[in-house]
């Protein structure tokens, strides 16, 4: 069968799609990139905000009008299966049942919301979208139950993958010519808490010894799970990314408590300072939700002051969206008007714009090392180890590591000029 995938949401969904495509190709099916050539469309869905969920229902409607067969996987499939049963879809496959995709496509399974996540391992095929960089899931689920968040209901409880299995996958990727991986988890720094004497720091320490792999990234970190062991490990090994993506969500201690986040603004900023003081040239990324129920102008001022102090290299800002089944949606009315949320988003975006400008302008003239991640006929872009994207005017193969001199920061983009090619280039 010819199958077209449409994927919404986070990197975990992107990688789940890669695994489902790999399983289908292994069973003799074809993945197509043009919708009109497809016999079936699989929508791998995201439920983190109402907007992302609604996109799924409207896409199903449009596809059905066009005469397509449609199958649903991912977070909406897991959490909204009762609603989806009223739609004319071929199958509903949950987040931990992706190994059932072949049976679903072949019509022998209509619904699977069970947990077979242990079946996904180093031997599971994946049709990866990049040639040199690979996503690697290391922990499934989330145990934190932030009051606004649907993820613990869509992705289940935390389960760390065995260390040996992850190491086998990274070794295999190195043999296949990949030279960087990103370890993924909703809370990647919870890795190993359900095992004996294991942690993300230990996994990174062991993985960075694997020959052929030049860079290791990890996403997303829960602030109070970042340990001194992790910070010291990142500081010690050159192949480990110097970027920490640590969502704060709010700067107000009152709102953080209502969100069931387990830290205060000052504890968060202490963590940022510890990282900055120990990890040379480190950068921090963050996420903020604006307009959580009862958020006042004073609470929002606290968020602005946290963002000023954290000096993020990158910031995702989202308006609060009530999610079915969460504590916040049951007990706290969504009482911050959308207009107010929009004004707060604009203020944060403008502040962040100024911070990024000053952080990037400061390093113009410096020589940095980038790994190429994409190119067109006369341009390439690559990332520094601290997660800054740099554009160069030349076509360079993906995966090469180059020295570039930074020349300009214009409209949010860093530009560089090529120096000498590193000995690590493949």
Stretch of 86-94, 148-156, 276-284, 361-369 contacting ligand SAM, by CB under 6 A: 148-156
Closer CB to ligand SAM, 220 or 384, in the complex: 220
Q: Which does 5 bind (CB under 5 to 8 A by kind): ligand SAM, ligand SF4, none?
A: none
Q: Which does 145 bind (CB under 5 to 8 A by kind): ligand SF4, ligand SAM, none?
A: ligand SF4
Binding mask 40-59 for ligand SF4 (x = CB under 6 A): --------------------
Closest CB 204 distance from ligand SAM, rounded Å: 18
User: Could you say whether residue 250 binds ligand SAM (CB under 6 A)?
Assistant: no
Stretch of 52-60, 112-120, 318-326, 341-349 contacting ligand SAM, by CB under 6 A: 318-326
CA proximity to 200, closest of 247, 232, 176: 232
User: Could you say whether residue 320 binds ligand SAM (CB under 6 A)?
Assistant: yes
Out of 78, 179, 250, 321, point to the residue binding ligand SAM (CB under 6 A).
Answer: 321
Closest CB 188 distance from ligand SAM, rounded Å: 9
Closest CB 152 distance from ligand SAM, rounded Å: 10
User: Could you say whether residue 137 binds ligand SF4 (CB under 6 A)?
Assistant: no
Q: In the window 153-212, what residues touch ligand SF4 (CB under 6 A)?
A: 186-187
Closest CB 89 distance from ligand SF4, rounded Å: 26
Rounded-to-integer distance, Cα 405 and Cα 197, Å: 43
Closer CB to ligand SF4, 221 or 282, in the complex: 221
Q: Which does 282 bind (CB under 5 to 8 A by kind): ligand SAM, ligand SF4, none?
A: none
CA proximity to 398, closest of 424, 422, 374: 374
Q: Which does 152 bind (CB under 5 to 8 A by kind): ligand SF4, ligand SAM, none?
A: ligand SF4
User: Could you say whether residue 370 binds ligand SF4 (CB under 6 A)?
Assistant: no
Closer CB to ligand SAM, 100 or 186, in the complex: 186
User: Could you say whether residue 289 binds ligand SAM (CB under 6 A)?
Assistant: yes
Which residues form the interface with ligand SAM (CB under 6 A)? Answer: 48-49, 148-149, 151, 186-187, 220, 222, 247, 249, 287, 289, 318, 320-321, 323
């Amino acid at each position: 069968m010819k199958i077209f995938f449409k994927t919404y949401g986070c990197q975990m969904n992107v990688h789940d799609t890669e695994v489902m495509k790999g399983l289908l190709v292994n069973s003799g099916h074809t993945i197509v990139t043009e919708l009109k050539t497809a016999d079936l469309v699989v929508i791998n869905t995201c439920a983190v905000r109402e907007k992302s969920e609604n996109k799924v229902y409207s896409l199903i409607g449009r596809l059905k009008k066009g005469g397509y067969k449609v199958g649903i996987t991912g977070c909406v499939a897991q959490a909204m299966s009762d609603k989806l049963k009223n739609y004319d879809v071929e199958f509903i496959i949950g987040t931990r049942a992706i190994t059932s995709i072949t049976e679903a496509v072949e019509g022998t399974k209509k619904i699977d919301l069970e947990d077979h996540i242990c079946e996904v391992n180093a031997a599971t095929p994946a049709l990866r979208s990049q040639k040199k960089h690979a996503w690697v899931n290391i922990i499934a689920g989330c145990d934190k139950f932030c009051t606004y968040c649907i993820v613990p209901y869509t992705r289940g409880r935390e389960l760390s993958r065995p260390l040996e299995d992850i190491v086998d996958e990274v070794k295999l990727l190195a043999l296949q010519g990949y030279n960087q991986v990103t370890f993924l988890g909703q809370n990647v720094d919870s890795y190993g808490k359900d095992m004996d004497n294991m942690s993300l720091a230990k996994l990174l320490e062991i993985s960075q010894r694997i020959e052929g792999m030049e860079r290791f990234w990890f996403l997303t970190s829960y602030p109070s799970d970042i340990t001194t062991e992790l910070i010291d490990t990142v500081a010690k090994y050159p192949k480990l990314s110097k970027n920490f993506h640590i969502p704060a969500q709010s700067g107000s201690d009152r709102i953080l408590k209502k969100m069931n986040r387990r830290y205060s603004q000052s504890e968060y900023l202490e963590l940022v300072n510890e990282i900055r003081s120990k990890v040379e040239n480190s950068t921090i990324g963050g996420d903020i939700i604006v307009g959580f129920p009862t958020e006042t102008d004073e609470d929002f001022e606290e968020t602005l002051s946290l963002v000023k102090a954290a000096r993020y290299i990158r910031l995702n800002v989202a308006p609060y969206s009530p999610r079915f089944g969460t504590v916040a949606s049951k007990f706290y009315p969504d009482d911050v008007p959308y207009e107010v949320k929009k004004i707060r988003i604009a203020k944060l975006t403008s502040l962040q714009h100024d911070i990024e400008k000053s952080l990037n302008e400061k390093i113009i003239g410096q020589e940095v090392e980038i790994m190429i991640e994409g190119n067109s006929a006369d341009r390439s872009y690559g990332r520094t180890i601290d997660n800054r994207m740099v554009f160069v005017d030349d076509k360079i193969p993906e995966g090469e590591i180059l020295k570039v001199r930074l020349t300009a920061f214009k409209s949010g983009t860093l530009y560089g000029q090529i120096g000498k090619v590193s000995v690590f280039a493949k």
